[in-house]
Amino acid sequence: MAPHPEALVLRGVAFALVAVTLASVAFWGCGTKVQEGIARGHELYDTCKPCHGLNGGGSQALAAPSIAGLPQWYIEAQLNKFRSGQRGMNPADMEGHRMRPMARSLNIEGDVTSVAQYVASMTPQPAAATLTGGNVAAGEAKYTAVCAGTRGLSEATYSATDATSPAR
């Protein structure tokens, strides 16, 4: 028994709809993998430049720290803290309020890691000295006796989960 002509037309229409759908998915790029890594991080860093600068050296006027060359784990941890609201929510933290939406814009999987890889690959830019005078030896001794001694902290004890300042 031969197929009914209407059934053949319906099959043809169904086939055409599937073909058009598949072609549009391919054309518009749905399901493609986003570029990851340092190249993607370099693109994403354009968002960071207004505050942290072309070379990641920061801006004293904006209270944006030098971030170039910081460890990848540290950058990832801080960006994730801004994204989750652990940082940037205190009403007195104006810099954090500026940073939080920037970190939240990294909303595609792999973006945080990519920008962290790029920042970590940058040449460190030491912050300009803002204090003059003072006694470095006395400050170091005081820190060692009061801060590090009571908290048990040293550069070696920082970790990705509890660090707020990285060891360079």
Q: Is residue 113 one of the residues assigned to a domain?
A: yes
Specify whether the CB–CB gap between 102 and 75 falls below 8 A. Answer: no
Q: Is residue 156 one of the residues assigned to a domain?
A: no
Report the amino acid identity of residue 142.
Answer: K
Report the amino acid identity of residue 161.
Answer: T
Specify whether the CB–CB gap between 59 and 51 falls below 8 A. Answer: yes
Q: Is residue 27 one of the residues assigned to a domain?
A: no
Report the amino acid identity of residue 162.
Answer: D
Specify whether the CB–CB gap between 28 and 98 falls below 8 A. Answer: no
Q: Residue 97 belongs to a domain with what CATH number?
A: 1.10.760.10
Q: Is residue 24 one of the residues assigned to a domain?
A: no
Q: Is residue 87 one of the residues assigned to a domain?
A: yes
User: Residue 160: what pLDDT?
Assistant: 45
- Domain total in the chain: 1
Say what percent of the chain tops pLDDT 70.
67
Tell me: the pLDDT tens digits for 122-131? 999 987 777 7
| Number of Cβ within a 10 Å radius of residue 66 | 21
CA atoms of 72 and 114, how far apart (whole Å): 9
Domain of residue 115 covers 38-127
User: Which stretches in the chain have pLDDT values below 70?
Assistant: 1-34, 148-168
